[in-house]
Amino acid sequence: MTWIGFDHPWVLLLLPLALLPLAGSPLRASATPSEALAPRDPLSSAISATLKTLGVLAIAFIVLGLAGAHRRDQQVERRGVGANIVLLIDRSSSMDSTFANRSPTGAEESKSAAARRLLTDFATRRPADRVAVAAFSTAPMLVSPMTDRHDAVRAAIAAIDRPGLAHTDVGRGLSLAFSLFDDESTETSRAIVMVSDGAAVIDRRVQDALRDASRRNPVRLYWLFLRTQGARGIYDKPPPGEPDSPQTYPERHLDIFLKSLGLPYRAFEANSAQEVSAAIKEIDQLEQRPTTYVETIPRQDLDWVFYAFASVALLLLLGAKLTERRLDETPVPLRRDGALQPRRAAS
């Protein structure tokens, strides 16, 4: 009975009232009750028992209805096609400028606004996903834990074009993202989608931690790099003679590091909102794996059902009451021996 719940369980204390019909009766009592007056009649006793039962049921149903009986909301496990995704979003202040590295105007949206719009579409298109959102800038921040509530995901994505902070601490952000997969997320369907417009040197200790995490917790990794005009890209190599260090080419070296993790990994370099859209579509197509997700069927009030049952019982009782005849209104012919003629009375 775990599926049924009561809003006001204390009302159930009134249930003993349902025992009243076993003792009392809505029918007229006789001043001279004597079973000897009428012979035993199985039909009469059956009807009598039925009337008592109807009374019991009517009262019990009304009490159950008053207690606010409802079917609890049910969690139904469904199989779908999607993924358990951690969206790891760069909230550094450079995300607030456009792809052309200008302040956003009416015609040109900022990188974060484009990411917000396209990721919202992405989340809306994929009902079978469970999504967690994390942000990183100067520090990594958990925004919303792994959830299948898409309102929550949308609210978390909606905040990504709010003003961000100064730095881009990719390493610790990734480390947070790895920790967000819970036991419920099936192992084959875990993915991290990192959206950033820059990279940074990852501390060697954080690198070790990430290697460790990726071995323990294999995921598929996507890096959506929003490249600002004039900025260095993932595939830019230093000209011969120039030092090739993570400090001067952080994007290139982050890419090399992510490849070295040994995870299924793809990097997308997007120079405009259209390219971001294309990249997100591709991720959408790649991340189609069998997942189990939980769909919640909202609670259903059952009080009206109980009231309806009670009405049926009361209707039958009222029928019985209306067929009741008083001894004095339909004089019963006496038999010659003085006994009352047996009647199929409803009592």
Partner 1 sequence: MKRPDLRTLALGGALALAVVAALQPEAQAERPTYDVIAYVDITGSMSARDYVTADGKPQSRLEAVKQRLAAAAGRLPCGSRFGLGVFTERRIFLLFEPMETCRNYVAISGAIKGLDWRMGWEGDSRISAGLFRAIDATRPTGADVVFLTDGQEAPPLRTDMEQTYDGEQARGLIVGVGGTDLVPIPKFNDFGREIGFYSMEDVPQASRLGGPPKGAENLPGYNARNAPFGEMPAGEEHLTSVKEPYLRQLGQMTGLGYARLGTGDELAAAIEANARPHPHAVPIDLSPAPAAAALLALAALYGTSLVARPRRRRPLNAQGVSS
Site residues (CB under 8 A) for partner 1?
14, 17, 20-21, 23-32, 55, 58-59, 62-63, 65-66, 91, 133, 135, 137-145, 147, 149, 151-152, 154-156, 158-159, 162-167, 301, 303-304, 307-308, 310-311, 314-315, 317-318, 321-322, 326-329, 334, 338, 340
- Residue 340: φ, ψ to 5°: -75, 145
- By beta-carbon proximity to partner 1, the closer residue of 150 and 232 is 150
- By beta-carbon proximity to partner 1, the closer residue of 153 and 258 is 153
- By beta-carbon proximity to partner 1, the closer residue of 196 and 249 is 196
Q: How far is the CB of 80 from partner 1 (least distance, A)?
A: 19
Q: How far is the CB of 321 from partner 1 (least distance, A)?
A: 5
Q: How far is the CB of 33 from partner 1 (least distance, A)?
A: 8
- By beta-carbon proximity to partner 1, the closer residue of 185 and 255 is 185
Residue type, 322: L
Distance, CA of 138 to CA of 128 (rounded, Å): 32
Of 170, 162, 144, the C-alpha closest to 90 is 170
Residue 217 Cα distances to 130, 165, 177, 250, angstroms: 17, 29, 11, 25
- By beta-carbon proximity to partner 1, the closer residue of 77 and 151 is 151
Distance, CA of 189 to CA of 34 (rounded, Å): 79
Q: How far is the CB of 139 from partner 1 (least distance, A)?
A: 5
Q: How far is the CB of 298 from partner 1 (least distance, A)?
A: 9
Task: Give strand ranges (E) for the chain.
Answer: 4-6, 69-71, 74-82, 84-90, 130-136, 140-147, 190-196, 220-226, 265-270, 289-297, 300-301
To the nearest 10 degrees (0 to 180), the angle between helices 111-125 and 150-158 is 170
